[in-house]
A and B are shown apart, each in its own frame.
Chain A
């Protein structure tokens, strides 16, 4: 059941990003609410779930954004996997965790995307442009990751309470 919740959140995040956030660029970068969602899944449920959910959300992002299919999928899977590495070693109560995690995972997903586009010969942006856009997105995501992480964490707990651990 919790994955349905994540899917709905990811769909809402994709819609919001497509409709709104793309019009609010910061240094060439835009806010990506999907990264905090993937991060939350990874932190709460580990690398496997994080990678799977991240791949699904990334693919959905690819479909909706019009970017080459597979790029967002690889980036999301990597971000989810990386977030899941901190499942048991990081304190979920840390105030800085969502913000720092959001920023770090943004940089990580950007690295995957840039690498992927280089592999298929589609990246024409300079390193400076890419760095600036990534920095902007990282700042954005660090901010929005905090509320998204806390809301999703509460939702996740509510779903567990409602449907049991198997949900």
Chain B
């Protein structure tokens, strides 16, 4: 049953011989310049086995990609949901912050303008609008308790907005220059032609009572003349858009200096403190 010692020796001899051959091959190639030389037999083996390995690798790559695609569907769905929620959150945040940024810019401009004004003024926020389409008034969050009085001019950094027509406690109603009840004594800045700017209940204003031979051209800036009881001198009212010649006077259409249709923050010029800032 047990192998003879000669048989065992023969097997050991074969194994030892193979180990020696392997060692010789190993050390021989390590002495070669490139550290590995497989010879023509190795080249032949590689020539036979490498192509199927490449094909198999490509096949496995295809299946790996397919498997990866399948297994990633769930991940992608989760990721997609997360990103969608993230986008929604960021959009909401962006929408929430955008008005703040715009308000910040407006207030900065307003603050800068306020500091330049030779009058005492009070910043106010538009808190309400006239719901009717016929008149143009707004409610502001400053009132008599803060020194706001009837006929106080209301302006922005762009120009005249209107004037206070009602005030009480902590609110005031402002009649906008676009209201047909509004009238502002004005002068064409370039030619110093005097007229009266009236509202039309529309976006555009009209300057009337300009003399027939007045030099008025589209693009001319119209400012308050200071002759009226309300507005101080030199505040922009609007820009001439077109001029029409009447029999006795000229009229001109103005684009308001302030975007009265989209007001949010204004300055109320306190007439009682017109000598101070």
Contacts of B48 in A (CB 8 A): 11
Decide if B248 is an interface residue (CB 8 Å cutoff).
no
Contacts of A20 in B (CB 8 A): 56-57, 60
Decide if B10 is an interface residue (CB 8 Å cutoff).
yes
Give the residue of B26, B50, B52, B57 whose beta carbon is less than 8 angstroms from that of A120: B26
Decide if B263 is an interface residue (CB 8 Å cutoff).
no
Contacts of B3 in A (CB 8 A): 88
Decide if A78 is an interface residue (CB 8 Å cutoff).
yes
Q: Secondary structure of the B side of the interface?
A: helix
CB distance from A41 to the nearest CB of B (A): 13
A63 contacts B56, CB within 8 Å? no
Contacts of B11 in A (CB 8 A): 46-48, 51, 81, 84
B25 contacts A51, CB within 8 Å? no
Per the 8 Å Cβ criterion, residues 8-53 of B in contact with A are 10-11, 14-15, 18-19, 21-27, 29-30, 35-38, 42, 45-46, 48-50, 52-53
CB distance from B28 to the nearest CB of A (A): 8
Contacts of B64 in A (CB 8 A): 23
A68 contacts B49, CB within 8 Å? no
Contacts of B49 in A (CB 8 A): 11, 14-15, 18, 60, 63-64
A64 contacts B29, CB within 8 Å? no
Distance of A87 Cα from B54 Cα, bound (Å): 37
Contacts of B95 in A (CB 8 A): none
Give the residue of B18, B25, B60 whose beta carbon is less than 8 angstroms from that of A52: B18
Distance of A23 Cα from B60 Cα, bound (Å): 10
Decide if B1 is an interface residue (CB 8 Å cutoff).
yes
Q: What count of chain B residues pass the 8 Å CB interface test?
A: 34
**Given A51-B14, A64-B46, are A77 and B22 neighbors across the interface (CB < 8 Å)?**
yes
Q: What count of chain A residues pass the 8 Å CB interface test?
A: 34
**Given A70-B22, A70-B25, A70-B26, are A77 and B57 neighbors across the interface (CB < 8 Å)?**
no
Q: Secondary structure of the A side of the interface?
A: helix
Distance of A52 Cα from B30 Cα, bound (Å): 23
A52 contacts B14, CB within 8 Å? yes
Distance of A88 Cα from B3 Cα, bound (Å): 9
Write the chain B residue with the least CB distance to A74: B22
Contacts of B53 in A (CB 8 A): 14-15, 18-19, 64
Contacts of A81 in B (CB 8 A): 11, 14-15, 18
Decide if A16 is an interface residue (CB 8 Å cutoff).
yes
Contacts of A164 in B (CB 8 A): none
- A64-B49, A66-B36, A70-B27 known; 12 other A-B pairs, CB under 8 Å? A20-B56, A47-B14, A60-B49, A63-B49, A69-B25, A70-B25, A74-B26, A78-B15, A81-B11, A119-B26, A120-B26, A120-B27
Residues in chain B within 8 A of chain A (CB atoms): 1, 3, 10-11, 14-15, 18-19, 21-27, 29-30, 35-38, 42, 45-46, 48-50, 52-54, 56-57, 60, 64
Residues in chain A within 8 A of chain B (CB atoms): 11, 14-16, 18-20, 23, 46-48, 51-52, 55, 58-60, 63-64, 66, 68-71, 73-74, 77-78, 81, 84, 88, 116, 119-120
Which 5 residue pairs are nearest across A and B when measured between Cβ atoms? A70-B26, A74-B22, A70-B25, A19-B56, A77-B18
